[in-house]
Every structure is written in structure tokens, then in C-alpha cells.
Amino acid sequence: MSLETMEPNPAWDEASYEDAIDTLEAHNDELVYKVWGGDWCKDCRKLLPDFGAALDAAGVPEDRIDEIAVDEDKQGPGVEEYGVEYIPTVVVERAPAGADGDDGEEVTRFVEEEDRPPAIWLADRLEEELQ
């Protein structure tokens, strides 16, 4: 099931997020984004449209974005497995690539309480983890 809140914000200013977009784009072929949220959630409605726009601007393929809807009790696929307590939560994993041993390894995660928008927060963490 997809999340309406992940539809890219048409008013989002791509030029203001050039560094974050460049970082996300540089890792298109090695990462998968798992996004837990709810269209009913005010934090998701606030944060995810801009994140969707950033992923779109970075050219992240749709098959690298897994949108996971949770109910108002924050229950849904993968919630227990990934320890999701707050939404939105974005888990960034290494993409399945074969026998390199890194398949599905979590690289970083954004949880709704972070102090910066998801695209910027994740880009900063990806630079630290993958450089």
C-alpha cells in the first residue's frame, strides 16, 4: 500500500536542498528506503511530501522506496521487526546486490523526532556512513 503523504510536494524548492539531493542521488544504486507512516498522521503530512519530493529530485527509483502504511495504533507490516515506535520512520538499508553480505543491512534511520527534515538528516548520515 502506498502513502498519499509520500506524493512529492509540488511547491518544494529543489534548489534549497542541492547538497542533500546530490548525496541521495550518489547512492541510488546501493540503497533502499523503507518508509513507515500514515496518511492520518500530522507529522507524516508535514514531513513526507518534502521527503517524497527529495527522493524524486534525486532520481531514486520507485522500486527502491517501500512505503508502509500503519494504522492509528501504529501497527502494520514490519513494525515489530524494525522496532518502529514513531512515525514517520525511514529506514535506509543496503539494497540486495548478491552475495556481498550487506543485503538488507541498515545504514541509518530517520525518526519523526529528529531536528531536521528527513532528506537533510538522512543525507548527512549517509555521508558519514558511506564515505
What is residue 99's predicted lDDT score, i.e. its pLDDT? 44
pLDDT averaged per 10 residues in sequence order, the chain, 131 residues: 88 93 92 96 96 96 95 94 96 75 80 94 92 72
Give me the architecture of the 18-130 domain, per CATH: 3-Layer(aba) Sandwich (3.40)
The pLDDT assigned to 1 comes to 54
Instruction: Give me 101's grid cell.
Output: 553480505
Question: Which pLDDT score, from 0 to 100, does residue 50 have?
Answer: 96
Let me know if 38 is exposed, middle or buried by CB neighbors in 10 A (0-12, 13-18, 19+): buried
Q: On the CB side of 100, how many CA atoms lie within 13 Å of its CA?
A: 10
Q: What pLDDT is attached to residue 96?
A: 77
Q: For the chain, give every domain's residue range.
A: 18-130
